[in-house]
A = this chain, B = another copy of it.
Amino acid sequence: MITVYLAGPEVFLPDGRAILEAKRTVLRDYGLEPVSPPAEFRDQAKGSCMERGLEISRRNEQLVRLGDACIANLTPFRGPSADAGTVYELGFAAALGKLVTSYSNDATLYSHRVQDAINAGADLREDSGDLWALDGMRVENHGMADNLMLAGGVLTRGGQVHVPGHVATDLWRDLDTFTQAVRDLAQI
């Protein structure tokens, strides 16, 4: 049975535990198994705030290693790109040769989100085929859902960046697109 590490920023939501439990149920519905923390991980991390952070980082890396696959929630988080921790874990899983796939509940292109976030409605400037934002920086223009390393990393490995065909009713709790990613993974 394929074991799956769920990478995503749900841990930052007030009802994150419930959302993650719902996602684990979807995995099981499709015959996949969520990665379970080994017994020694069951305790809360202890120590100073920095020590706790380091301990959680090591635990999460270990959990990624334990899984056969990783599904990354790339829904934009506090900016036009996905949550940084999720992205780190996606890169980590890809390098380990895990099955990787992903989804985002925001179907807009990365370049459009940068336009919204940085240019606040003004068009991006086009120059010699490149797009530029008002922050003076180039905007990736590869027709991808996020930075090309993320999208490329999953696409190169046979995964997808699944996006909704409709506007998600709730960016963090609508599991339709996640379920699509799970269904695809279960068919491998």
Copies of this chain, complex-wide, total 2
Indicate if the CB atoms of A152 and B56 lie closer than 8 Å.
Answer: yes
What 0/1 pattern do residues 101 to 144 of A give for CB contact below 8 A with B?
A: 00000000000001001100000000000001001111111111
If over half of A's interface residues share one DSSP class (helix, strand or loop), that class is named, otherwise mixed; here it is helix
Residue tally, chain A, CB below 8 Å to B = 60
Supposing A53-B140, A148-B57, A152-B57 touch, asked if A84 and B82 sit within 8 A by C-beta, the answer is yes
Residue of B nearest to A91 (CB): B91
A3 surroundings in chain B (CB, below 8 A):
none
State A155–B14 Cα separation when bound (angstroms).
Answer: 28
Of B12, B50, B60, B143, the residue contacting A144 (CB under 8 A) is B50
Residues of B close to A151: CB separation below 8 A: 53, 57
